[in-house]
């Protein structure tokens, strides 16, 4: 691609925005990447090659999409903003392996789209610069739907990335950490400075890589109960596990009964939620279920 001018440069981005009289919508969290080195790094971290099928969310004017198209077998991009569809048709015209879908990822039938656009044996990866205001709902929906997506490499708010990849006994560790790590192995792989975007966001960004687990890391009798028990344990972070759980079970169990169950499995009720591992939460949830049936 001699003399090719990448979309992800300040001058080319300004040129495209001017051509289409495009104005940023704050409500959609639009911040476009203007640094091709960072985009190449994202592709490398995501492990994209010519075998890969890629899903992108929120392609904007196509900065990341272009790099995905160059390196992948096929890229399927979901864009919610109707105003960007003609822009993307123009900017991505050189690439015949990109399909842009004007749809809200939260409402799309992603499983069907994967079946339609990619080969059954093909590795599928999600790579996206996610809008900060809706990062968690998007990722949690895609994870809970158990889609055939091998990995998620996403640019998100630094603080949220730290929460998703946190370890026990840290300030960032909480119910979101456990939900994400139940489905995936999580790692923050790089930081992205504000100057890499137009307009510059107010928050720092990180690239989070999530690799889907082939089986859950713990055995739980009831997934829904397991997650609600975790949320209850973090309901008030400064309270002890015993107090948070007593509040959660107030219709069913007394404080003494909660204390006895904790004692039975060797978990000190004076601990706080952030000190418990996923294995301990699984043991806790399964024991409460067993005691309710006893």
Report whether 66 contacts 12 (CB < 8 A).
no
Domain co-membership, 170 together with 28 = yes
User: What average pLDDT score do residues 111-130 get?
Assistant: 97
Domain co-membership, 157 together with 278 = no
Looking at the DSSP bridge assignments, the partners of residue 210 are 152, 186
What are the backbone dihedrals phi and psi of residue 30, each rounded to the nearest 5 degrees, phi first? -85, 115
Helix (H) or strand (E) holding 37: helix 36-46
Domain boundary among 156, 180, 212: 212
Q: Residue 124: name the closest of 51, 209, 58 by CA.
A: 51
Residues at the annotated binding site?
31, 33, 58, 79, 104, 129
Domain co-membership, 88 together with 168 = yes
pTM of the predicted model as reported, rounded to 2 decimal places: 0.93
Residues at the annotated binding site for S-adenosyl-L-methionine?
31, 33, 58, 79, 104, 129
Domain co-membership, 242 together with 96 = no
Paired tokens of 293: 């049936």
Residue whose pair of structure tokens reads 């409402």 in the numeric block:
107
Domain co-membership, 180 together with 251 = no
Sequence-ordered alpha helix ranges (H) in 72-222: 84-91, 110-117, 135-144, 158-164, 175-183
Query: What's the rounded Cα separation, in Å, for the pair 290 and 294?
Result: 6
Domain co-membership, 39 together with 159 = yes
pLDDT over 70 percentage in the chain: 96
Domain boundary among 157, 185, 212: 212
How would you list the strands of the sheet with 205-212, edge to edge? 98-101, 74-78, 53-57, 124-129, 151-157, 205-212, 184-192
Domain co-membership, 20 together with 137 = yes
Domain co-membership, 153 together with 260 = no
Report whether 113 contacts 74 (CB < 8 A).
no
Check residue 1 and give its pLDDT: 47
Q: Residue 99: name the closest of 59, 63, 126, 136 by CA.
A: 59
Contacts 24+ apart (CB under 8 A), 87-90: 87/16, 87/20, 87/22, 87/61, 87/62, 88/59, 88/61, 88/62, 90/16
Domain co-membership, 164 together with 62 = yes
Domain co-membership, 86 together with 116 = yes
Report whether 218 contacts 282 (CB < 8 A).
yes
Residue 101 belongs to domain spanning: 10-212
User: What average pLDDT score do residues 191-205 get?
Assistant: 90
Strands 98-101 and 53-57: unpaired
How many folded domains does the chain comprise?
2
Domain co-membership, 147 together with 175 = yes
Domain boundary among 178, 212, 246: 212
Check residue 28 and give its pLDDT: 59
For residue 192, pLDDT beyond 70: yes
Domain co-membership, 156 together with 270 = no
- Residue 244 is part of a domain; what is its CATH number? 1.10.8.100
Tell whether 16 is covered by a domain.
yes
Check residue 12 and give its pLDDT: 94
Check residue 118 and give its pLDDT: 98
What are the backbone dihedrals phi and psi of residue 36, each rounded to the nearest 5 degrees, phi first? -65, -30
Tell whether 5 is covered by a domain.
no
ω into 199 cis (within 30 of 0): yes
Tens of pLDDT, residue by residue over 125-159, are: 999 999 888 999 999 999 999 999 999 999 999 99
């Amino acid at each position: 691609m001699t003399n090719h001018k990448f979309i992800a440069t300040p001058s080319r981005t300004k040129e495209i925005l001017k051509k289409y009289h495009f104005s940023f919508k704050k409500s959609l969290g639009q911040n476009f990447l203007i640094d091709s080195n960072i985009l190449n790094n994202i592709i490398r971290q995501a492990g994209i090659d010519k075998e890969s099928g890629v899903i992108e969310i929120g392609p904007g004017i196509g900065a990341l999409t272009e790099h995905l198209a160059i390196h992948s077998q096929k890229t399927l991009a979901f864009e919610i903003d109707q105003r960007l569809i003609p822009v993307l048709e123009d900017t991505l015209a050189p690439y015949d392996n990109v399909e842009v879908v004007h749809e809200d990822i939260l409402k799309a039938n992603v499983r069907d789209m994967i079946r339609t656009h990619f080969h059954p044996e093909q590795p599928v990866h999600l790579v996206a610069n996610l809008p900060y205001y809706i990062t968690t709902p998007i990722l949690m929906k895609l994870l809970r739907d158990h889609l055939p997506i091998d990995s998620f490499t996403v640019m998100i708010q630094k603080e949220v990335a730290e929460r998703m990849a946190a370890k026990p006994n840290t300030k960032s560790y909480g119910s979101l950490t456990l939900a994400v790590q139940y489905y995936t192995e999580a790692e923050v792989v790089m930081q992205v400075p504000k100057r890499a975007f137009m307009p510059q966001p107010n928050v720092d960004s990180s690239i989070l890589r999530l690799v889907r687990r082939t089986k859950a890391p713990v055995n739980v009798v009831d997934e829904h109960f397991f997650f609600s028990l975790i949320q209850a344990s973090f309901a008030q972070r400064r309270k002890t596990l015993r107090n948070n759980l007593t509040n959660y079970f107030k219709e069913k169990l007394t404080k003494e009964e909660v204390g006895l169950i904790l004692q039975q499995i060797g978990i000190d009720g004076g601990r706080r939620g952030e000190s418990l591992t996923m294995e301990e939460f699984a043991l806790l949830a399964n024991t409460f279920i067993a005691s309710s049936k006893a």
